[in-house]
Protein backbone atom coordinates (compact mmCIF):
# COMPACT_ATOMS: atom_id res chain seq x y z
CA UNK A 1 0.00 0.00 0.00
CA UNK A 2 1.46 3.35 -1.07
CA UNK A 3 1.72 6.29 1.29
CA UNK A 4 0.51 9.82 0.51
CA UNK A 5 1.73 12.84 2.45
CA UNK A 6 -1.12 15.31 2.03
CA UNK A 7 -0.51 18.97 2.87
CA UNK A 8 -3.71 20.87 3.65
CA UNK A 9 -4.37 24.44 4.69
CA UNK A 10 -6.16 23.62 7.97
CA UNK A 11 -7.81 20.20 7.63
CA UNK A 12 -8.59 18.29 9.89
CA UNK A 13 -8.58 21.39 12.13
CA UNK A 14 -10.98 23.25 9.86
CA UNK A 15 -14.36 24.68 10.79
CA UNK A 16 -15.36 26.06 7.38
CA UNK A 17 -14.91 25.43 3.68
CA UNK A 18 -11.86 23.16 3.29
CA UNK A 19 -13.39 20.06 4.85
CA UNK A 20 -16.21 20.06 2.26
CA UNK A 21 -13.60 19.50 -0.49
CA UNK A 22 -11.33 17.08 1.31
CA UNK A 23 -13.56 14.68 3.26
CA UNK A 24 -15.29 12.98 0.30
CA UNK A 25 -11.86 12.49 -1.29
CA UNK A 26 -10.33 11.04 1.88
CA UNK A 27 -13.15 8.53 2.23
CA UNK A 28 -12.09 6.96 -1.08
CA UNK A 29 -8.29 7.42 -0.89
CA UNK A 30 -8.32 5.87 2.58
CA UNK A 31 -9.23 2.52 0.98
CA UNK A 32 -6.11 2.43 -1.19
CA UNK A 33 -3.39 4.46 0.55
CA UNK A 34 -1.86 5.20 3.89
CA UNK A 35 -2.28 8.94 4.37
CA UNK A 36 -0.19 11.33 6.45
CA UNK A 37 -2.05 14.63 6.86
CA UNK A 38 0.03 17.76 7.35
CA UNK A 39 -2.22 20.73 8.25
CA UNK A 40 -0.17 23.89 7.81
CA UNK A 41 -2.42 26.02 10.02
CA UNK A 42 -5.45 25.60 12.31
CA UNK A 43 -8.89 27.16 12.55
CA UNK A 44 -9.60 25.15 15.71
CA UNK A 45 -7.74 22.73 17.98
CA UNK A 46 -10.48 20.14 17.58
CA UNK A 47 -10.02 17.53 14.87
CA UNK A 48 -12.88 16.65 12.51
CA UNK A 49 -14.83 13.54 13.49
CA UNK A 50 -14.19 11.78 10.17
CA UNK A 51 -10.50 11.33 11.03
CA UNK A 52 -11.52 9.16 13.98
CA UNK A 53 -13.74 7.04 11.73
CA UNK A 54 -11.12 6.32 9.05
CA UNK A 55 -8.13 4.00 9.25
CA UNK A 56 -4.70 4.33 7.61
CA UNK A 57 -4.61 8.06 8.46
CA UNK A 58 -2.18 9.85 10.74
CA UNK A 59 -1.55 13.54 11.42
CA UNK A 60 1.79 15.37 11.50
CA UNK A 61 1.36 18.62 13.37
CA UNK A 62 3.53 21.63 12.53
CA UNK A 63 3.46 25.16 13.89
CA UNK A 64 4.30 28.36 12.06
CA UNK A 65 5.92 31.00 14.26
CA UNK A 66 6.13 34.11 12.12
CA UNK A 67 8.45 35.90 14.54
CA UNK A 68 10.91 33.03 14.49
CA UNK A 69 10.61 32.21 10.79
CA UNK A 70 11.02 35.79 9.59
CA UNK A 71 14.79 35.29 9.96
CA UNK A 72 14.60 32.95 6.95
CA UNK A 73 14.75 36.05 4.80
CA UNK A 74 18.35 36.57 5.94
CA UNK A 75 19.42 33.42 4.07
CA UNK A 76 18.95 35.00 0.63
CA UNK A 77 19.48 31.75 -1.25
CA UNK A 78 19.66 31.49 -5.05
CA UNK A 79 15.95 30.73 -5.58
CA UNK A 80 15.00 34.02 -3.88
CA UNK A 81 17.66 36.04 -5.72
CA UNK A 82 16.54 34.67 -9.10
CA UNK A 83 12.91 35.45 -8.34
CA UNK A 84 13.72 38.98 -7.15
CA UNK A 85 15.49 39.62 -10.47
CA UNK A 86 12.28 38.75 -12.36
CA UNK A 87 10.07 41.17 -10.45
CA UNK A 88 9.14 44.30 -12.36
CA UNK A 89 6.36 45.51 -10.09
CA UNK A 90 7.52 46.56 -6.61
CA UNK A 91 4.09 45.64 -5.20
CA UNK A 92 4.97 41.98 -5.82
CA UNK A 93 7.99 42.03 -3.51
CA UNK A 94 5.81 41.75 -0.39
CA UNK A 95 4.02 38.69 -1.83
CA UNK A 96 7.37 37.09 -2.63
CA UNK A 97 8.86 37.71 0.83
CA UNK A 98 5.80 36.34 2.66
CA UNK A 99 5.72 33.23 0.48
CA UNK A 100 9.47 32.71 0.81
CA UNK A 101 9.36 32.83 4.62
CA UNK A 102 6.56 30.25 4.77
CA UNK A 103 8.21 28.12 2.09
CA UNK A 104 11.52 27.93 3.98
CA UNK A 105 9.68 27.05 7.19
CA UNK A 106 7.88 24.01 5.76
CA UNK A 107 10.90 23.05 3.63
CA UNK A 108 13.02 22.66 6.78
CA UNK A 109 10.33 20.50 8.35
CA UNK A 110 10.06 18.23 5.29
CA UNK A 111 13.83 17.96 4.91
CA UNK A 112 14.21 16.89 8.53
CA UNK A 113 11.63 14.13 8.01
CA UNK A 114 13.48 12.91 4.91
CA UNK A 115 16.92 13.03 6.50
CA UNK A 116 15.71 11.03 9.49
CA UNK A 117 14.15 8.46 7.11
CA UNK A 118 10.73 9.06 8.65
CA UNK A 119 9.51 9.87 5.12
CA UNK A 120 11.02 8.55 1.89
CA UNK A 121 11.10 8.86 -1.90
CA UNK A 122 8.47 6.12 -2.32
CA UNK A 123 5.82 8.38 -0.86
CA UNK A 124 3.59 10.61 -3.00
CA UNK A 125 3.85 14.23 -1.82
CA UNK A 126 0.51 15.88 -2.51
CA UNK A 127 -0.39 19.49 -1.74
CA UNK A 128 -4.09 20.23 -1.79
CA UNK A 129 -3.38 23.84 -2.79
CA UNK A 130 -0.78 25.04 -5.29
CA UNK A 131 0.96 27.22 -2.72
CA UNK A 132 4.17 27.64 -0.69
CA UNK A 133 4.27 23.98 0.46
CA UNK A 134 4.32 22.94 -3.20
CA UNK A 135 7.30 25.20 -3.85
CA UNK A 136 9.07 23.78 -0.78
CA UNK A 137 8.62 20.22 -2.05
CA UNK A 138 9.85 21.18 -5.52
CA UNK A 139 12.98 22.65 -3.91
CA UNK A 140 13.68 19.21 -2.41
CA UNK A 141 12.48 17.16 -5.37
CA UNK A 142 15.83 16.48 -7.03
CA UNK A 143 17.85 16.05 -3.85
CA UNK A 144 15.52 13.35 -2.48
CA UNK A 145 13.98 12.09 -5.75
CA UNK A 146 10.44 13.01 -4.67
CA UNK A 147 7.15 12.57 -6.53
CA UNK A 148 5.28 15.86 -6.12
CA UNK A 149 1.72 16.64 -7.21
CA UNK A 150 -0.70 19.44 -6.41
CA UNK A 151 -4.31 20.39 -6.96
CA UNK A 152 -5.03 23.83 -8.39
CA UNK A 153 -8.34 25.55 -7.64
CA UNK A 154 -8.88 29.30 -8.10
CA UNK A 155 -6.95 31.65 -5.81
CA UNK A 156 -3.93 29.34 -6.03
CA UNK A 157 -4.20 29.13 -9.83
CA UNK A 158 -5.15 32.37 -11.58
CA UNK A 159 -2.35 34.91 -11.34
CA UNK A 160 -4.71 37.67 -12.45
CA UNK A 161 -6.58 37.16 -9.17
CA UNK A 162 -3.32 37.68 -7.24
CA UNK A 163 -2.35 41.09 -8.61
CA UNK A 164 -0.87 39.39 -11.67
CA UNK A 165 1.81 37.47 -9.79
CA UNK A 166 2.29 34.20 -7.90
CA UNK A 167 5.87 33.75 -6.62
CA UNK A 168 7.97 30.97 -8.21
CA UNK A 169 5.03 29.91 -10.41
CA UNK A 170 6.91 29.87 -13.73
CA UNK A 171 9.55 27.53 -12.29
CA UNK A 172 7.15 25.38 -10.26
CA UNK A 173 4.82 24.45 -13.14
CA UNK A 174 7.74 23.01 -15.08
CA UNK A 175 9.43 21.08 -12.26
CA UNK A 176 6.42 19.46 -10.58
CA UNK A 177 5.37 15.95 -11.57
CA UNK A 178 1.65 16.63 -11.94
CA UNK A 179 -0.77 19.52 -11.56
CA UNK A 180 -4.36 18.38 -11.03
CA UNK A 181 -6.88 21.06 -11.99
CA UNK A 182 -10.47 20.95 -10.75
CA UNK A 183 -11.98 22.45 -13.91
CA UNK A 184 -11.35 22.26 -17.64
CA UNK A 185 -11.14 26.04 -17.63
CA UNK A 186 -8.27 25.84 -15.14
CA UNK A 187 -6.60 23.13 -17.21
CA UNK A 188 -6.79 25.25 -20.36
CA UNK A 189 -5.53 28.31 -18.49
CA UNK A 190 -2.34 26.52 -17.42
CA UNK A 191 -1.80 24.77 -20.74
CA UNK A 192 -2.19 27.93 -22.78
CA UNK A 193 -0.19 30.13 -20.42
CA UNK A 194 2.80 27.85 -19.85
CA UNK A 195 2.65 25.35 -22.76
CA UNK A 196 3.13 22.43 -20.34
CA UNK A 197 2.03 18.79 -20.54
CA UNK A 198 2.29 17.71 -16.87
CA UNK A 199 -1.34 18.63 -16.09
CA UNK A 200 -4.64 16.80 -16.04
CA UNK A 201 -8.16 17.66 -14.98
CA UNK A 202 -9.94 15.74 -12.24
CA UNK A 203 -13.22 17.10 -10.94
CA UNK A 204 -13.92 17.30 -7.24
CA UNK A 205 -17.13 15.65 -6.10
CA UNK A 206 -19.61 15.35 -3.26
CA UNK A 207 -21.45 12.35 -1.86
CA UNK A 208 -24.87 11.62 -3.31
CA UNK A 209 -27.35 12.25 -0.50
CA UNK A 210 -30.33 11.02 -2.58
CA UNK A 211 -32.23 14.17 -1.67
CA UNK A 212 -34.48 16.23 -3.96
CA UNK A 213 -35.40 19.80 -3.13
CA UNK A 214 -39.23 20.06 -2.97
CA UNK A 215 -41.08 22.00 -5.67
CA UNK A 216 -42.18 25.46 -4.55
CA UNK A 217 -45.94 25.46 -5.15
CA UNK A 218 -46.52 29.06 -4.03
CA UNK A 219 -46.59 32.12 -6.29
CA UNK A 220 -43.76 33.65 -4.28
CA UNK A 221 -40.36 33.25 -5.97
CA UNK A 222 -37.95 31.50 -3.60
CA UNK A 223 -34.22 31.94 -4.15
CA UNK A 224 -31.31 30.41 -2.25
CA UNK A 225 -27.59 31.18 -2.27
CA UNK A 226 -24.81 29.46 -0.35
CA UNK A 227 -21.33 30.94 0.01
CA UNK A 228 -18.80 32.50 2.31
CA UNK A 229 -19.80 36.14 2.80
CA UNK A 230 -16.71 37.73 1.26
CA UNK A 231 -16.18 40.46 -1.34
CA UNK A 232 -15.52 38.08 -4.26
CA UNK A 233 -18.88 36.33 -3.75
CA UNK A 234 -20.84 39.60 -4.18
CA UNK A 235 -23.68 38.51 -1.88
CA UNK A 236 -24.64 42.18 -1.48
CA UNK A 237 -25.31 42.35 -5.23
CA UNK A 238 -27.76 39.42 -5.03
CA UNK A 239 -29.63 41.21 -2.27
CA UNK A 240 -29.67 44.59 -4.00
CA UNK A 241 -30.74 43.21 -7.39
CA UNK A 242 -33.48 40.92 -6.03
CA UNK A 243 -34.87 43.77 -3.92
CA UNK A 244 -35.10 46.01 -6.98
CA UNK A 245 -36.61 43.29 -9.19
CA UNK A 246 -39.36 42.50 -6.70
CA UNK A 247 -40.35 46.19 -6.67
CA UNK A 248 -40.18 46.73 -10.44
CA UNK A 249 -42.03 43.51 -11.33
CA UNK A 250 -44.37 43.74 -8.32
CA UNK A 251 -43.69 40.15 -7.31
CA UNK A 252 -42.93 38.56 -3.96
CA UNK A 253 -39.40 37.22 -3.63
CA UNK A 254 -38.02 35.32 -0.66
CA UNK A 255 -34.23 35.00 -0.51
CA UNK A 256 -32.31 32.67 1.83
CA UNK A 257 -28.54 32.93 2.21
CA UNK A 258 -26.59 30.04 3.74
CA UNK A 259 -23.14 30.98 5.00
CA UNK A 260 -21.25 33.44 7.14
CA UNK A 261 -18.05 35.43 6.83
CA UNK A 262 -16.22 38.63 7.61
CA UNK A 263 -18.80 40.82 5.83
CA UNK A 264 -21.81 39.26 7.56
CA UNK A 265 -22.44 42.16 9.96
CA UNK A 266 -22.21 44.70 7.15
CA UNK A 267 -24.56 42.65 4.99
CA UNK A 268 -27.16 42.41 7.74
CA UNK A 269 -27.01 46.20 8.21
CA UNK A 270 -27.49 46.67 4.48
CA UNK A 271 -30.49 44.34 4.53
CA UNK A 272 -32.50 46.93 6.43
CA UNK A 273 -32.23 49.15 3.38
CA UNK A 274 -33.25 46.48 0.87
CA UNK A 275 -35.93 44.47 2.71
CA UNK A 276 -39.53 45.51 2.05
CA UNK A 277 -43.00 44.00 1.93
CA UNK A 278 -42.32 42.25 -1.39
CA UNK A 279 -38.78 41.14 -0.56
CA UNK A 280 -38.16 38.85 2.41
CA UNK A 281 -34.54 38.22 3.48
CA UNK A 282 -33.48 35.22 5.58
CA UNK A 283 -29.90 34.90 6.77
CA UNK A 284 -29.49 31.24 7.62
CA UNK A 285 -25.89 31.48 8.85
CA UNK A 286 -23.17 28.86 8.64
CA UNK A 287 -24.34 25.27 8.23
CA UNK A 288 -22.30 22.07 8.24
CA UNK A 289 -22.48 20.04 5.05
CA UNK A 290 -25.15 17.64 6.38
CA UNK A 291 -27.19 20.57 7.66
CA UNK A 292 -27.14 22.19 4.22
CA UNK A 293 -28.74 19.10 2.72
CA UNK A 294 -31.37 18.99 5.48
CA UNK A 295 -32.14 22.61 4.71
CA UNK A 296 -32.59 21.81 1.03
CA UNK A 297 -34.79 18.84 1.92
CA UNK A 298 -37.11 20.95 4.10
CA UNK A 299 -37.26 24.25 2.20
CA UNK A 300 -38.59 24.44 -1.37
CA UNK A 301 -36.69 26.77 -3.69
CA UNK A 302 -37.10 27.78 -7.32
CA UNK A 303 -33.47 28.66 -8.11
CA UNK A 304 -29.98 28.71 -6.66
CA UNK A 305 -28.18 32.00 -7.42
CA UNK A 306 -24.50 32.95 -7.39
CA UNK A 307 -23.03 36.22 -8.67
CA UNK A 308 -19.43 35.48 -7.71
CA UNK A 309 -16.75 37.52 -9.48
CA UNK A 310 -14.31 34.59 -9.54
CA UNK A 311 -14.54 30.83 -9.00
CA UNK A 312 -12.79 27.53 -9.47
CA UNK A 313 -15.68 25.08 -9.66
CA UNK A 314 -17.77 25.59 -6.51
CA UNK A 315 -18.93 22.71 -4.33
CA UNK A 316 -22.04 24.80 -3.57
CA UNK A 317 -23.11 24.35 -7.20
CA UNK A 318 -22.52 20.60 -6.98
CA UNK A 319 -24.74 20.53 -3.88
CA UNK A 320 -27.46 22.52 -5.64
CA UNK A 321 -27.34 20.24 -8.70
CA UNK A 322 -27.41 17.11 -6.56
CA UNK A 323 -30.78 18.11 -5.08
CA UNK A 324 -32.20 19.08 -8.47
CA UNK A 325 -32.05 22.87 -8.18
CA UNK A 326 -31.73 24.95 -11.36
CA UNK A 327 -29.00 27.60 -11.14
CA UNK A 328 -28.54 31.23 -12.16
CA UNK A 329 -24.81 31.98 -12.13
CA UNK A 330 -22.08 34.27 -13.37
CA UNK A 331 -19.99 32.53 -16.01
CA UNK A 332 -16.63 32.62 -14.22
CA UNK A 333 -13.95 29.96 -13.75
CA UNK A 334 -15.37 26.48 -14.32
CA UNK A 335 -19.01 27.43 -13.65
CA UNK A 336 -20.08 26.73 -17.25
CA UNK A 337 -18.91 23.13 -16.76
CA UNK A 338 -21.75 22.58 -14.29
CA UNK A 339 -24.32 25.21 -15.34
CA UNK A 340 -25.42 24.86 -18.96
CA UNK A 341 -27.56 27.60 -20.51
CA UNK A 342 -31.25 26.61 -20.54
CA UNK A 343 -30.33 23.01 -19.80
CA UNK A 344 -30.10 23.27 -16.01
CA UNK A 345 -29.95 27.02 -15.53
CA UNK A 346 -28.88 30.39 -16.86
CA UNK A 347 -25.48 32.04 -17.24
CA UNK A 348 -24.58 35.70 -16.72
CA UNK A 349 -21.51 37.68 -17.76
CA UNK A 350 -18.88 38.17 -15.06
CA UNK A 351 -19.35 41.96 -14.99
CA UNK A 352 -23.10 41.77 -15.15
CA UNK A 353 -25.40 44.77 -15.06
CA UNK A 354 -28.68 44.97 -13.17
CA UNK A 355 -30.62 44.85 -16.44
CA UNK A 356 -28.86 41.66 -17.52
CA UNK A 357 -29.67 40.00 -14.21
CA UNK A 358 -33.28 41.20 -14.28
CA UNK A 359 -33.80 39.83 -17.80
CA UNK A 360 -32.41 36.44 -16.79
CA UNK A 361 -34.64 36.34 -13.70
CA UNK A 362 -37.66 37.18 -15.87
CA UNK A 363 -36.68 34.33 -18.20
CA UNK A 364 -36.20 31.99 -15.24
CA UNK A 365 -39.64 32.92 -13.86
CA UNK A 366 -41.09 32.14 -17.29
CA UNK A 367 -39.59 28.64 -17.05
CA UNK A 368 -41.05 28.22 -13.56
CA UNK A 369 -44.53 28.92 -14.96
CA UNK A 370 -44.04 26.25 -17.64
CA UNK A 371 -44.14 22.98 -15.70
CA UNK A 372 -42.56 20.88 -18.46
CA UNK A 373 -39.64 23.27 -19.07
CA UNK A 374 -39.00 23.83 -15.37
CA UNK A 375 -39.08 20.15 -14.43
CA UNK A 376 -36.59 19.49 -17.24
CA UNK A 377 -34.20 22.03 -15.69
CA UNK A 378 -34.42 20.23 -12.37
CA UNK A 379 -33.99 16.77 -13.91
CA UNK A 380 -30.98 17.95 -15.90
CA UNK A 381 -29.34 19.37 -12.78
CA UNK A 382 -29.51 15.96 -11.13
CA UNK A 383 -28.17 14.23 -14.23
CA UNK A 384 -25.23 16.64 -14.58
CA UNK A 385 -24.32 15.97 -10.95
CA UNK A 386 -24.50 12.19 -11.35
CA UNK A 387 -22.47 12.22 -14.57
CA UNK A 388 -19.68 14.57 -13.52
CA UNK A 389 -19.59 15.40 -9.80
CA UNK A 390 -20.52 12.31 -7.82
CA UNK A 391 -17.75 11.71 -5.27
CA UNK A 392 -17.35 7.93 -5.45
CA UNK A 393 -16.92 7.90 -9.21
CA UNK A 394 -14.56 10.90 -9.36
CA UNK A 395 -12.32 9.90 -6.47
CA UNK A 396 -12.06 6.28 -7.57
CA UNK A 397 -10.64 7.63 -10.84
CA UNK A 398 -8.35 9.97 -8.90
CA UNK A 399 -7.10 7.05 -6.81
CA UNK A 400 -6.18 5.26 -10.06
CA UNK A 401 -4.22 8.35 -11.17
CA UNK A 402 -2.28 8.41 -7.89
CA UNK A 403 -1.59 4.67 -8.06
CA UNK A 404 -0.12 5.08 -11.53
CA UNK A 405 2.50 7.63 -10.38
In eight-state DSSP terms, residue 74 is G
CB 23 within 8 A of CB 290: no
Using CA atoms, how far apart are residues 274 and 295, in angstroms rounded to an integer?
Answer: 24
pLDDT value of position 206: 95
- Indicate whether 192 and 255 sit together in one domain: no
- Indicate whether 59 and 185 sit together in one domain: yes
CATH number reported for the structural domain that contains residue 251 in this entry: 3.40.50.2000
- Indicate whether 115 and 136 sit together in one domain: yes
- Indicate whether 195 and 294 sit together in one domain: no
Q: Residue-wise pLDDT tens for the chain (405 aa)? A: 999 999 999 999 998 779 999 999 999 999 999 999 999 999 999 999 998 889 899 999 999 887 777 776 666 788 888 898 888 888 899 999 999 999 999 999 999 999 999 999 999 999 999 999 999 999 999 999 999 999 999 999 999 888 899 999 999 999 999 999 999 999 999 999 999 999 999 999 999 999 999 999 999 999 999 999 999 999 999 999 999 999 999 999 999 999 999 999 999 999 999 999 999 999 999 999 999 999 999 999 999 999 999 999 999 999 999 999 999 999 999 999 999 999 999 999 999 999 999 999 999 999 999 999 999 999 999 999 999 999 999 999 999 999 998
CA 89 to chain CA mean position, Å: 28
Q: pTM of the predicted model, to two decimals?
A: 0.93
pLDDT value of position 74: 66
pLDDT value of position 173: 98
- Indicate whether 257 and 395 sit together in one domain: no
> Is 113 contained in some domain?
yes
- Indicate whether 396 and 304 sit together in one domain: no
> Is 157 contained in some domain?
yes
pLDDT value of position 80: 86
- Indicate whether 252 and 285 sit together in one domain: yes
Q: Containing domain of residue 261, as a range? A: 221-388
pLDDT value of position 117: 97
Helix axes 132-144, 92-115, angle to 10 degrees: 40
Instruction: Report the number of distinct structural domains present in the chain.
Output: 2
pLDDT value of position 321: 98
Among candidate residues 106, 96, 182, 101, the one with its CA nearest the CA of residue 137: 106
- Indicate whether 175 and 268 sit together in one domain: no
The 3-state DSSP class for residue 315 equals helix
> Is 216 contained in some domain?
no
- Indicate whether 118 and 249 sit together in one domain: no
- Indicate whether 243 and 261 sit together in one domain: yes
Per-position DSSP letters for 177-224, written without gaps between them: SEEEESSHHHHHHHHHHH--SSEEE----B------PPP--SSSEEEE
- Indicate whether 114 and 257 sit together in one domain: no
Amino acid sequence: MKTIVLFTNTYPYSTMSEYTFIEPELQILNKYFKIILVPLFRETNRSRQLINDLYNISIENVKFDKYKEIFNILELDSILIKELQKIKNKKHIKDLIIRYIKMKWIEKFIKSKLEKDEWNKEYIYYTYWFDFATTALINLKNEFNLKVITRAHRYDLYEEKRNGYIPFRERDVRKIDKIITISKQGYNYLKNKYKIENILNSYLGINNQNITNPINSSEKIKIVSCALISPVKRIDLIMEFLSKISTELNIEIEWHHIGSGKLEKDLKKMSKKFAHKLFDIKFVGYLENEEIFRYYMNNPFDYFVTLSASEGLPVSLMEACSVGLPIIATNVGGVSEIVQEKKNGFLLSSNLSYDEFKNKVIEAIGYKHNKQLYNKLRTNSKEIFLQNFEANKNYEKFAEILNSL
